[in-house]
Structure 1
Amino acid sequence: MKSRSRQKSRRLQPDLQPTTMETTVRRHRRIIMLPFPFQGHINPMLQLANLLYSKGFSITILHTNFNAPRISNYPHFTFKSILDNDPEKRRFELAEFSKDFIHNQDGGDALLHELGLLVASGLDENERVSCLITDSYWHFAQTVADRLNLPRLVLRTMGLFCTTVYSSIPLLDARGYFTLDDSHLEERVAEFPLLKVKDIKKIGIESGEVGYAVLIRHMVKQTKAASGVIWNSFKELEEPMLERISRDFPGPHFLIPFPKYYTASSSSLLEQDRTIFPWLDQQPAKSVVYVSFGSLSQVDEKQFLEIGHGLVNSKQRFLWVVRDGFVEDLTWFESLPVGFPGERGRVAQWAPQQEVLAHEATGAFWTHSGWNSTIESVCEGVPMICSAFRGDQPLDARYMSDVSGVAVYLENGLQRDEIARVIRRILVDEEGKEIRESAKLLKQKSDLSVMKGGSSDDSVESLVDYISSL
């Protein structure tokens, strides 16, 4: 079979060496950025950093030793390690990391010290620090920025719908949703009729002022106090939420779909397997279901086997990412179907996801519904199968399936027969034609949004002007 192009669409890649007088002036304005040290948070922050650099700003990236970014991939940025912590300690849970470090007063003190030095040195070098951009989870950064009289913008790495739900967690908790028993799981949530009780419970919040709930409460409060919020999204995707989000979070909002500007390959914390592309090149157009559940999700052996058998039983081509740590029981491989994965399948430990989604052989994406994966799939027009695990994922899955109409939500767990049926529906059955068409139309809207005068292009220019005015 004739080899096919690896990408069915070429995303925008702005020049990283702008030369206009306006951007040259901006080189004397520095932006300090602090990503949260997990893959789904690092990717959008560094994509945003590239975009702002292309507009003429100098960039300093503050980072932890834990999950430190690959500095050699970004020679145009200045990097500084702060908030010292053990890079070897494997913390897979965001809640555990937050308990260990974010609530530690030493974190705020260390950030204050380093930012103070950077602001002072910038003044000495005739270079002005314009603002601080941090991930929303670094909530204590707002207090630090206020003490230094430094504007802070927040990068929100989840969608608008998810954020409105998160901001309502105290209300949902007070009304008892997090403690309802399993007999209520299929009931609708009165405050958010789109959602079922099981979606709310999957967020993973414990009732009361403990654990992850405290982190979310601080995050929401300090995001409202920020000078602005930047979203990895675009107006046409989440337009129904704009009025609500503007009311709940009064600062300026900038909706920019980062995958339309830069890939996330250079910020991957794991080694990517590029040998998958010769295999993909040999597959028919839109014939492969790409399966990846992100950098943190885990399944047990039984769930893993249901996935494997479901892929085989679908009789469709598949590319399955099985990273280290994905399966809790390491004896899983012996129980897979004989001859797995066979000629129709390919297994990889990690993959350059945006490139796989952009490949013309990819016809569907079975995802954990993390927001980065969701927006990447939307931007490439790939319909989704959603298997949400926790956090924002069930909210994203519900929105993509019930509002955007570009996904099927496997909301009742992992069952091989249902998996096989849904894969066939999304890839080839007439029943899935409407979803495939909706995904294609939404991609077209994302394409138009980044063209001159489009909603996302306007957001980029507004953000540049706003930072320049600070």
Structure 2
Amino acid sequence: MTSAPAQPRPHVLLVAAPFQSHVNPLLRLGRRLAAKGLLVTFTTALRAGIRLSPGDHDGDGGDAEAGAGRGRLRVELLRGGGIWAPDDPRFRVASDMARHVEAAGPAALEELVRGQAEAGRSVTCVVANAFVPWAFRVAGELGLPRGMLWIQSCALLCVYYHHVHALAAFPEADAPGSVTLPGLPELEADDLQPLLIYASGQDLWRQMLVADLGRARETMSWVFVNTFDELEHSTIEGLRERLPVIPVGPLLEPDDADGEYSSTADDDGCTAWLDAHPPRSVVFVAFGSLVKNDSDEVAEIAAGLASTGRPFLWVMRDDNRAVLSADALAAACRDRDQGKVVPWCSQGRVLAHPAVGCFVTHCGWNSTAEALAAGVPVVASPRWSDQRINARFLVDVHRVGARAPTPLRRDALRERVEEVMSGPEAEAMARRAASWKETARASVCDGGSSDRGVQAFVCLLYTSRCV
């Protein structure tokens, strides 16, 4: 008697918007799914500057099943349909890029899905970032279940969902007021500015957000969120009445989530420089890949860091560094021990280094999650999008930092750094931050709250019920 043929592994197709901050969390979710035994393929319209892990580049070569169960995934880039070449200069304008991918992506994605079926690995479901509504349309037309990965906080998802569906009375643009939503503290008008809810109805990103969330309850089988239950429990529970929310975060590199600093992340000598400093002594400054500080603010930050007398590691992109005079930079650094300036570093791994005692941040969600997972108190200087809400939670709810004015000024920066590193509440902040580190780490370990969400999804793909 012959045995029945083995059931094929469920195949999850991940579709990312071509931004590094969107690519990274989706890749990390994909690796976790692959580690659970699923076949996972990642795709995006690759453009210059996007980093993909070399270990994930299987493409059409080799055994498609080889990495299953070991956290590897396949990468097949979107091709055809007139997709621009990665080095096309038109990719540099975010709105032009989004419109192009919206127009060319559907045909390329449909071709990719059909190619997978012809290769004997039919796609089981599609999981895409927010802000790629065309991917959800294609999946629906092909009859594939759909899941969204929301890469920001559940709090922001709650705000946007309630606004899109007119479920709460929000203050008018540029007017005082507040709004109270399920599972959230009362949010003042300042916390909500300048979110997309106040953008023009013709704004491209607002239109994509409305497309993503307008029918999410009817069309999305899963809404994965880059958070963990312990961090946003009440918000998650409140939103679950309306959306199938599954917390799967923090979606960090394994070394970052484990809180261990890897010497392989020695970017521009950062490892050796940090190794030379005592625990919790270094001020780490980074404002992400999009914030552009004007010349006055850059000079104020430099002077403020110098005035603390503390060693600092400052990630300053070339466009920001170009507006700071060599003399001002030299005065800030004084010598190699006082300050080190680099154009880029592996932020999560730097935060995990024991020498780092304070993180001056714009409070983007990736930076917020990395700070909590590393147990590092913050000086919060938010700019736009979700950053003000994230700062509100870090400072007022989780109480792991101090709020600084935006733009930063030297005296305010010095005062907030001292408050976080040596002020009356500094030790209490450090203890609370350390507690969040342990909780974040536990959430993604076997049996943790986020791991259970991932496992439940895997079980659903294998069978209608998990025994």
If the TM-score is normalised by the length of the shorter chain, which range does it land in?
Answer: 0.7 to 0.9
Q: Which residue of 2 aligns with 1:79?
A: 76
Q: Which residue of 2 aligns with 1:301?
A: 295
CA offsets 1:160-205 (integer angstroms, 9 cap, x no match): 001111223455998553233xxx4xx6546675433222223365
Q: CA, structure 1 residues 359+262, in 2 after alignment: closer, same or farther (shift >3 Å)?
A: closer
1:208 Cα deviation from its structure 2 partner: 3.9
- Residue number among 370, 379, 385 corresponding to 1:376 in the alignment: 370
Q: CA, structure 1 residues 299+26, in 2 after alignment: closer, same or farther (shift >3 Å)?
A: farther
CA distance in 1, matches of 2:43, 2:237: 33
CA distance in 2, matches of 1:246, 1:172: 15
**Secondary structure at 1:303 match in 2:** helix
Q: Which residue of 1 aligns with 2:67?
A: none
Q: Within 5 Å, which residues of 2 pair with 1:11-410?
A: 28-67=9-48, 68-70=50-52, 72-76=54-58, 77-82=74-79, 84-85=83-84, 87-89=87-89, 97=94, 99-103=95-99, 107=102, 110-170=104-164, 171=166, 177-180=172-175, 184=176, 188-189=178-179, 194-203=186-195, 206-211=198-203, 212-224=205-217, 225-249=219-243, 251-259=244-252, 261=254, 273-326=267-320, 330-336=323-329, 338=331, 340-342=333-335, 343-410=337-404
CA distance in 1, matches of 2:210, 2:9: 36
Letter in 2 for 1:214: Q
1:240 Cα deviation from its structure 2 partner: 2.0
Percent identical? 27
1:59 Cα deviation from its structure 2 partner: 2.4
Q: CA, structure 1 residues 112+163, in 2 after alignment: closer, same or farther (shift >3 Å)?
A: same
**Secondary structure at 1:248 match in 2:** coil
1:348 Cα deviation from its structure 2 partner: 0.7
1:449 Cα deviation from its structure 2 partner: 2.3
CA distance in 2, matches of 1:28, 1:464: 10
1:359 Cα deviation from its structure 2 partner: 0.8
CA distance in 2, matches of 1:193, 1:237: 14
CA distance in 2, matches of 1:137, 1:119: 20
1:337 Cα deviation from its structure 2 partner: 6.2
**Secondary structure at 1:346 match in 2:** strand
Letter in 2 for 1:209: G
1:324 Cα deviation from its structure 2 partner: 2.1
CA distance in 2, matches of 1:461, 1:302: 50
TM-score, scaled relative to structure 2: 0.83
Letter in 2 for 1:178: A
1:39 Cα deviation from its structure 2 partner: 1.9
Letter in 1 for 2:250: P
CA distance in 2, matches of 1:26, 1:385: 52
CA distance in 1, matches of 2:255, 2:11: 21
Query: Contact between 1:188 and 1:197, CA under 8 Å: does it hold in 2?
Result: yes
CA distance in 2, matches of 1:123, 1:408: 53
1:25 Cα deviation from its structure 2 partner: 6.6
CA distance in 1, matches of 2:385, 2:40: 31
**Secondary structure at 2:133 match in 1:** coil
How many residues are matched? Answer: 428
Query: Contact between 1:34 and 1:133, CA under 8 Å: does it hold in 2?
Result: yes
CA offsets 1:247-270 (integer angstroms, 9 cap, x no match): 232x25243322274659xxxxxx
CA distance in 2, matches of 1:236, 1:358: 21
**Secondary structure at 1:70 match in 2:** coil
Letter in 1 for 2:20: Q
CA distance in 1, matches of 2:168, 2:302: 37
Letter in 2 for 1:256: G
CA distance in 1, matches of 2:52, 2:201: 36
CA distance in 1, matches of 2:137, 2:300: 47
Q: CA, structure 1 residues 102+349, in 2 after alignment: closer, same or farther (shift >3 Å)?
A: closer
RMSD: 2.9
1:287 Cα deviation from its structure 2 partner: 0.8
1:132 Cα deviation from its structure 2 partner: 0.9
Query: Contact between 2:419 and 2:426, CA under 8 Å: does it hold in 1?
Result: yes
CA distance in 2, matches of 1:91, 1:174: 38
CA distance in 2, matches of 1:124, 1:89: 34
Query: Contact between 1:314 and 1:424, CA under 8 Å: does it hold in 2?
Result: yes
**Secondary structure at 1:128 match in 2:** coil
Structure 1 stretches of 4+ with a deviation exceeding 6 A read: 24-27
Q: CA, structure 1 residues 237+339, in 2 after alignment: closer, same or farther (shift >3 Å)?
A: closer
1:390 Cα deviation from its structure 2 partner: 0.8
1:142 Cα deviation from its structure 2 partner: 1.7
1:234 Cα deviation from its structure 2 partner: 0.7
Letter in 1 for 2:351: L
**Secondary structure at 1:408 match in 2:** strand
**Secondary structure at 1:258 match in 2:** coil
Structure 2 unmatched runs, 5+: 59-73, 258-264
1:297 Cα deviation from its structure 2 partner: 0.8
Q: Which residue of 2 aligns with 1:9?
A: none
TM-score, scaled relative to structure 1: 0.82
Q: CA, structure 1 residues 147+347, in 2 after alignment: closer, same or farther (shift >3 Å)?
A: same
CA distance in 1, matches of 2:404, 2:239: 28
